[in-house]
Amino acid sequence: MQQQNIESKIVKAATLAIDVGYGNTKTAFALGSDIRTSMFPSLAPQAATSSLTPESGTPFQARKVVNVVVDGARYEVGPGVSLSGAYNTGRALAEDYVTTPNYAALLAGAIFYSGATEIERLVLGLPVHNTQKYAGHLRDRFVGQHDFGWGPIDVKSVMPLPQPLGTLVTYMQQSGKQYDPNNSYLVIDVGYFTTDWIVARGYTIDDTRSGGVPGGAARVYQQIAGLIASDQGQPFDAIERVDHALRTTGKLLFYKQDLELSRYLPEAMAVTNPSIKELQSRVGRTDDIRAVILTGGGAALYAPTIRAAFPLNDIHMMVSPCFANVRGFYTIGAARQATKAAA
């Protein structure tokens, strides 16, 4: 287990952006003149009571996890959290996700890995369809003093934002003068559990055409897991392993076999249709859309369905789509801090 070695001295962060998604927790913060990003799975199982890894003198390495205390319970989070389905992984897939101890534990873990102990502005992402519902909860829950198990953390303010807004800002930065502020853009954020979208012209969001629905990458993973179970005649539901395999080698170890997951994708992709059909009906005609911007960890999985749904529009896949939102969150938060400092 990773040692919790944050020193007692105050480490200030003017802006810390964290997107605690259903699938992964992403962070962006300043490191000198650069913006550093990091990510770990949004899994928060109960912490192990002890570690069998020798502290020194052997080639074995401790898992990169940190123990987090929330409401008296101890969780472990971080890049080294187990993806095995052998025990409760601590994945919370529910509409009230941001109110759960799992969310708080993941947020605390992200703060730990940033090294900050005093945060002037904490920028957090929310699904579009429940941003208004839970924005107040995030402010009430996380503004103030906290102790998650390694010393005091002081959060001065919390800024909740709809998740696709971060990608729009990142896209503006990357496009430069090519960005057209006089026409609308459709940003589609395919997450782990939800698909969210906004239609925006410049910095103005069209609320009547923006929204979100349940259904993201996890549905594809679940479908693949079901197809493997049916094909192999053995139970299988370890969708965390399916996710990891698709992001890396494309192969999944199943007992003695290395299964090529590409063979299951064509059939599994059918589950992407309902969410995109709902999105189409809510957005309406897209003759006024300059470009459709794809982002989120599930963007590549949903891209074929989205391209088929919007054949007459330019479609742009973000570079590093997993980090597009949180990078934009950092930009928004830092700009707000600069404005506040100049006032």
Rounded mean pLDDT, 217-234: 96
Q: What pLDDT score was predicted for residue 23?
A: 87
Per-residue pLDDT for 221 more than 50? yes
Per-residue pLDDT for 234 more than 90? yes
Q: What pLDDT score was predicted for residue 87?
A: 44
Cβ(44)–Cβ(60) under 8 Å?
A: no
Residues 6+ apart with CB under 8 A from 19: 25, 26, 27, 124, 125, 163, 166, 325, 326, 329
Cβ(63)–Cβ(48) under 8 Å?
A: no
Q: What pLDDT score was predicted for residue 54?
A: 54
Reported as a pLDDT band with limits 50, 70 and 90, residue 215 is confident
- The Cα 220–Cα 275 span in angstroms is 12
pLDDT tens digits along 2-30: 444 444 566 889 999 999 998 899 999 99
Q: What pLDDT score was predicted for residue 177?
A: 85
End-to-end CA distance of the chain: 45
Q: What pLDDT score was predicted for residue 120?
A: 95
Reported as a pLDDT band with limits 50, 70 and 90, residue 190 is very high
For residue 64, give the 3-state DSSP assignment: coil
| CATH number given to 12-162+325-342 | 3.30.420.40
Read off the tokens for 276: 């995109």
- Token look-up 């198990």 returns 149
pLDDT tens digits along 67-92: 999 999 999 999 988 776 444 555 66
Cβ(210)–Cβ(313) under 8 Å?
A: no
* pTM for this predicted structure: 0.87
Mean pLDDT of the chain: 89
Return the minimum-mean-pLDDT range out of 61-65, 247-251, 283-287. 61-65
Q: What pLDDT score was predicted for residue 93?
A: 66
- The Cα 12–Cα 30 span in angstroms is 11
Per-residue pLDDT for 57 more than 80? no
- The Cα 110–Cα 38 span in angstroms is 9
Per-residue pLDDT for 333 more than 50? yes
Per-residue pLDDT for 58 more than 70? no
Instruction: Let me know if 266 is exposed, middle or buried by CB neighbors in 10 A (0-12, 13-18, 19+).
Output: exposed
* Range ranked top by mean pLDDT from 114-118, 237-241, 334-338: 114-118
Residues 6+ apart with CB under 8 A from 24: 39, 40, 41, 42, 192, 297, 322
Residue count of the chain, please give it: 343
Reported as a pLDDT band with limits 50, 70 and 90, residue 56 is low
Per-residue pLDDT for 189 more than 80? yes
Reported as a pLDDT band with limits 50, 70 and 90, residue 338 is confident
Q: What pLDDT score was predicted for residue 6?
A: 45
- Calculate what percentage of the chain has a pLDDT beyond 70: 89
Reported as a pLDDT band with limits 50, 70 and 90, residue 47 is confident
Q: What pLDDT score was predicted for residue 125?
A: 94
- The Cα 252–Cα 244 span in angstroms is 9
- The Cα 320–Cα 341 span in angstroms is 31
Cβ(164)–Cβ(181) under 8 Å?
A: no
Per-residue pLDDT for 246 more than 60? yes
Rounded mean pLDDT, 46-52: 67
Per-residue pLDDT for 340 more than 80? no
Q: Which of 226, 255, 256, 257 is nearest to 239 (CA)?
A: 226
∠332-340-183 over CA atoms, to 5°? Answer: 35
State how beta strands 152-155 and 194-201 pair. unpaired
Rounded mean pLDDT, 33-42: 91
Per-residue pLDDT for 143 more than 90? yes
Read off the tokens for 114: 């940033």
Task: Give the Cβ contact number of residue 133 at 10 Å.
Answer: 13
Residues 6+ apart with CB under 8 A from 199: 184, 185, 186, 187, 205, 206, 209, 210, 283, 289
Return the minimum-mean-pLDDT range out of 39-53, 61-75, 116-130, 151-165. 39-53
DSSP labels, 89-105: -----STTGGGSHHHHH
